């Protein structure tokens, strides 16, 4: 099969910096069936054709885990610095390749996905048991790559891979440690986001706006918020509606208790229904009337 003019694994050289750039797009496989697969053989040819730092842009749904493992190892063994940038998706086996980067960066809109290895098997019970054993070992080998990068425990990573796996947006991937940076976001922006998440509620801090005397919790006397004569009560404007709501709620609860007591005492029935069912129906009707008037 003749190769198309454009290969998805072609390298592009940055004439200004001398850095080589790879756009790794499409499925990863051992063999080149359709002409657009990323294969270890083709990858090695291009990787060894030059020297210096490289950037690998990944946009791949994954594929053959053994082919991905071979490419992962090539990148780890490469003498120059390897920067991996996830443009859109690094899923399944492609996420393993991504872990080879000395620096891993992800687009704000990109996704990273990890999951248990899968295969197709036929045969008898012994054959299937052997397949299960192999899949378990393959999973352990994949965990090696994830743990080397993230520092997470093997048990934590295994749980993230279980079932249908785990899809991670850019921020989740950064929090778990699968990536080092979110592209196009300044460090300042990330610091501000972290500060907002960690910023305590000033209203609950000693000395805050609601505590001008700087008293610790429990010190001093707080105004009685149920006292209608308290001039400094911040909830003063909300009291009328709050009291009305409490009154309505009290009335609805009273109706429910009254009707249930009546039916339970008389053991009333209607068309064979139990007293609880009939009581609940009547409670609803009477409560609706109260709500209409309210």
Q: Is the pLDDT of residue 49 over 70?
A: yes
The chain-wide mean pLDDT, for the chain, equals: 77
pLDDT digits 0-9 by tens, 232-247: 454 444 445 555 555 6
- For the cut 80, the answer to whether the pLDDT of residue 97 exceeds it is yes
What's the pLDDT score for residue 47?
Answer: 87
| Domain 11-193 classification at class level | alpha beta
Per residue in 108-147, pLDDT (tens digit) is 999 999 999 999 999 999 999 999 999 999 999 999 999 9
* Average pLDDT of the segment spanning 266-279: 50
Closest of 66, 107, 75, 65 to residue 9, by C-alpha = 75
pLDDT of residue 283: 56
Residue 212 predicted with pLDDT over 50: no
**Least confident among 31-45, 180-194, 259-273:** 259-273
* pLDDT: which is higher, 217 or 61: 61
Whole-angstrom distance, CA of residue 45 vs CA of residue 43: 5
Where does the pLDDT of residue 178 fall: very low under 50, low under 70, confident under 90, or very high at 90 and above? very high
pLDDT over threshold 50, residue 106: yes
Domain residue limits, the chain? 11-193, 236-293
Helices 65-77 & 40-47 angle (0-180, nearest 10): 10
Beta bridge partners of 86: 58, 106
* Stronger pLDDT, 215 or 259, i.e. the higher one: 259
Q: Residue 149: pLDDT band by 50, 70, 90 thresholds?
A: very high
pLDDT at 205: 46
Q: Name beta bridge partners: 13.
A: 20
* Lowest pLDDT segment from 20-24, 93-97, 190-194: 190-194
Of 77-86, 122-131, 222-231, the poorest mean pLDDT is in 222-231
- Higher-pLDDT residue of 78, 5: 78
> What mean pLDDT is predicted for residues 90-106?
98
> Is 151's pLDDT higher than 80?
yes
pLDDT number for residue 258 = 67
The rounded distance, in Å, linking the Cα atoms of 160 and 196 is: 28
pTM summary value? 0.62
């Amino acid at each position: 099969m003749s190769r198309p003019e454009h290969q998805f694994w072609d390298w592009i050289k940055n004439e200004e910096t001398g850095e080589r750039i790879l756009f790794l797009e499409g499925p990863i496989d051992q063999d080149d069936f359709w002409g657009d697969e990323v294969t270890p053989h083709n990858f090695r040819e291009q990787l060894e054709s030059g020297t210096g730092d490289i950037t690998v842009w990944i946009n791949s749904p994954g594929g053959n885990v053994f082919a991905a493992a071979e490419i992962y190892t090539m990148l780890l063994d490469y003498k120059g610095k390897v920067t991996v940038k996830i443009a859109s998706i690094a899923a399944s086996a492609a996420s393993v390749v991504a872990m080879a980067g000395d620096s891993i960066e992800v687009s704000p809109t990109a996704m990273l996905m990890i999951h248990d290895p899968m295969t197709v098997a036929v045969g008898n019970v012994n054959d299937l048991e052997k397949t299960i054993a192999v899949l378990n070992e393959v999973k352990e080998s994949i965990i090696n790559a994830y743990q080397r990068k993230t520092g997470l425990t093997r048990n934590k990573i295994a749980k993230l891979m279980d079932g249908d796996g785990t899809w991670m947006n850019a921020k989740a991937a950064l929090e778990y440690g699968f990536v080092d940076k979110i592209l196009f976001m300044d460090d300042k922006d990330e610091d501000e986001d972290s500060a907002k998440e960690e910023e305590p509620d000033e209203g609950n801090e000693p000395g805050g706006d609601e505590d001008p005397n700087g008293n610790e919790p429990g010190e001093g006397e707080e105004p009685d918020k149920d006292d209608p004569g308290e001039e400094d009560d911040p909830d003063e404007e909300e009291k009328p509606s709050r009291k009305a709501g409490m009154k309505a709620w009290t009335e609805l609860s009273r109706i429910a208790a009254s009707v249930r007591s009546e039916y339970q005492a008389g053991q009333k029935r209607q068309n064979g229904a139990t007293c609880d069912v009939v009581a609940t129906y009547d409670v609803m009707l009477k409560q609706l009337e109260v709500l209409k008037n309210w």
